[in-house]
Amino acid sequence: MKLDSMYQDIILDHYKNPHGKGLRDGDAEVHHVNPTCGDEITLRVRLDGGKVADVSYEGQGCSISQASASVLNELLVGRELDDAVRIQEAFLELMQSKGQAEPDEDVLEDAVAFAGVSKYPARVKCALLSWMAWKDATAKALSEKETA
């Protein structure tokens, strides 16, 4: 069945057992919503030198948006910030590919499971919700560190 291309087991696993869920201390917090469906996420980023020390989040939404936040946590926490930004960009590119991209598993790891989601325009925003929130929170954390 075609749906399986969207609801990969990896996605359902992350949905049922999310990584790093819950809010912990952070340098910056953002709240993003997907106005078309009401998905919401509150996300905090903690930076430690040039590293992503923690990404914590709380939210409500569909399996795609929740699993995506879990994958993000797994993928980005502990990375050098430059690497994390590259992964975020690769994920964004994959989600905008309309199912045409051949994702690089070395870079995206579990996030390659979202390739199928990119064929469903209504769901791309669900997958990107936490990633856009992370980008926003990281920029906020960096600018606050600069001014501090």
Partner 1 sequence: MTQLPGLLPGLLDTEAIRKDFPVLDRQVHEGHKLVYLDNAATSQKPRQVLDALNEYYERHNANVHRGVHVLAEEATALYEGARDKVAAFVNAPSRDEVIFTKNASESLNLVANMLGWADEPYRVDRDTEIVITEMEHHSNIVPWQLLAQRTGAQLKWFGLTDEGRLDLSEIDRVITERTKVVSFTLVSNIMGTVNPVEQIVRRAQEVGALVVVDASQAAPHMVLDVQALQADFVAFTGHKMCGPTGIGVLWGRQELLEDLPPFLGGGEMIETVSMSSSTYAPAPHKFEAGTPPIAQAVGLGAAVDYLTSIGMERIARHEHAITEYAVRRLKEVPDLRIIGPATAEDRGAAISFTLGDIHPHDVGQVLDEQGIAVRVGHHCARPVCLRYGIPATTRASFYLYSTPAEVDALVDGLEHVRNFFG
For residue 81, the one-letter residue type is: L
Q: Which pairing describes strands 51-60 and 39-48: parallel, antiparallel, or unpaired?
A: antiparallel
Alpha-carbon distance of 130 to 32, in angstroms, equals 8
Q: Which two tokens stand for residue 42?
A: 């509150």
Q: Which pairing describes strands 28-34 and 51-60: parallel, antiparallel, or unpaired?
A: unpaired
What is the smallest separation between the CB atom of 59 and partner 1, expressed in angstroms?
9
What is the smallest separation between the CB atom of 38 and partner 1, expressed in angstroms?
4
What is the smallest separation between the CB atom of 41 and partner 1, expressed in angstroms?
11
Alpha-carbon distance of 7 to 89, in angstroms, equals 22
Residue whose pair of structure tokens reads 């990896």 in the numeric block: 10
Stretch of residues binding partner 1 (CB under 8 A), selected from 76-84, 103-111, 118-126, 128-136: 118-126
Among 72, 126, 129, 141, binds partner 1 (CB under 8 A): 126
Binding mask 45-64 for partner 1 (x = CB under 8 A): ---------------xxxxx
Binding mask 11-40 for partner 1 (x = CB under 8 A): -x-----------------------xxxxx
